[in-house]
Amino acid sequence: MVGYITDWDAIVAEKQIDSLTHLNYAFALPKTDGTIDFPANGWKLEKYVQMAHAKNIKMLISVGGWGLDKQFEAFAASPQLRATFISSVMQYVDKNQLYGVDIDWEYPTPGASSDNFRALMQELRAKLDGKLLTAAVAAYGDNAAGIPADVFPLTDFVNVMAYADEGAHHSPYELATKALDYWQGRGLSQNKTVLGVPFYGMPGDVPYNKIVRYDADAPSAEFSKYLGGTVGYNGLPTMRAKTKLAMERANGVMIWTINDDTLDKTSLLSAIQETVQGKSASSP
């Protein structure tokens, strides 16, 4: 159970991370010269590290995110700048007692970009010295094609972002099955496949907790009226179904983001946990 948390949102409640095995702190932002802008709120990181260590959760720094392709392309093409990047990452991991690094390069393209991604992952793997190395990848298609299959053995696992698809519903159940078919068809083993699920709706990146506050019936549905429009998301039934799919065909679930969940019986995280435990969550 991998949960992303963000440096720009409020600290999540401790009970929200109890069921997690890994906690990814987003984002550290790479620059074209290989240096990195790390999250500014150091007190938040310190708080999360304390929480994670107390609960035996492995915490990683997630580097990248959407819109940083230009920066990755620039520094990853140079052995010297890759070395600068890796040195900076390792200092941050060691200083903050983290368990490793999650690379979120969205998205390398086939050819030179793909080769540079491979080189970056190879060199980072060599320096991590037993710490974790994971990657977040697109669900399928052109945005996924630049991830070379020979990086799979370098990773501890791969977070498949099976969401943000085009269309009225950005993350239906069918998208999850299509994403698993794509990556496992390319040779990603089941034990390294982690199925990503969204705790937000589209369009507008609307947090699930806001959708529920606006519409009391939203937890049982996949579409809801929100601020005069219609938003598509994963309600409790879909989240339970995706969890069962992950239990059958993957080795875990990844959540973007824990910050977007509710704290009551409508919680998506609770629905995942109860499904894993073989329980039937009560309807909201």
- What is the arithmetic mean of pLDDT over 61-86? 98
Task: Please report whether residue 94 resides in a domain.
Answer: yes
Residue 70 inside a domain? The answer is yes
Question: Is the pLDDT assigned to residue 280 strictly greater than 80?
Answer: no
Q: Is residue 225 in some structural domain?
A: no
> What's the pTM?
0.96
Tell me what pLDDT residue 276 has. Answer: 95
> 151, 58, 137, 67: which is closest to 104 by C-alpha?
137
Residue 169: per-residue pLDDT? 81
Q: Does residue 226 form part of some domain?
A: no
pLDDT tens, residue by residue, 13-35: 999 999 999 999 999 999 999 99
Question: Both tokens of residue 57?
Answer: 């959760």
pLDDT reported for residue 165: 73
Model confidence band, residue 282 (pLDDT cutoffs 50, 70, 90): very low
pLDDT band at 167 (very low <50, low <70, confident <90, very high): low
pLDDT tens-place string over residues 102-131: 999 999 999 999 999 999 999 999 999 999
Residue 157 located in a structural domain: yes
Distance from C-alpha of 281 to C-alpha of 245, rounded to nearest angstrom: 17
Output the pLDDT for position 284. 39
What CATH number corresponds to the domain at position 263?
3.20.20.80
Per-residue 3-state assignment (H helix, E strand, C coil) for 184-226: HHCCCCHHHEEEEEECEEECCCEEHHHHHHHCCCHHHCCEEEE
Backbone phi, then psi, for 26, in 5-degree steps? -115, 140
Residue 281 confidence (pLDDT) above 70: no
Residue 247 above 80 pLDDT?
yes
Residue 117 within a domain: yes
Give just the sign of the alpha carbon dihedral 31, 159, 262, 25.
negative
Question: Do the Cβ atoms of 233 and 224 come closer than 8 Å?
Answer: yes
The boundaries of the domain holding residue 134 are 2-199+235-276
CA–CA separation, 119 vs 78, rounded Å?
Answer: 10
Specify the residue for token string 């994403």.
Answer: 179
Q: Mean pLDDT across the stretch 97-106?
A: 98
Residue 144, in any domain of the structure: yes
Rounded to the nearest integer, the mean pLDDT of the chain is 95
pLDDT value, residue 154: 98
Q: Which of 184-188, 202-206, 275-279 has the lowest mean pLDDT?
A: 275-279
**Which residues, including other chains, have CB under 8 Å from residue 211's CB and lie 6 or more apart?**
201, 218, 224, 226, 231, 233
Please count the structural domains in the chain: 1
Structural domain includes residue 42: yes
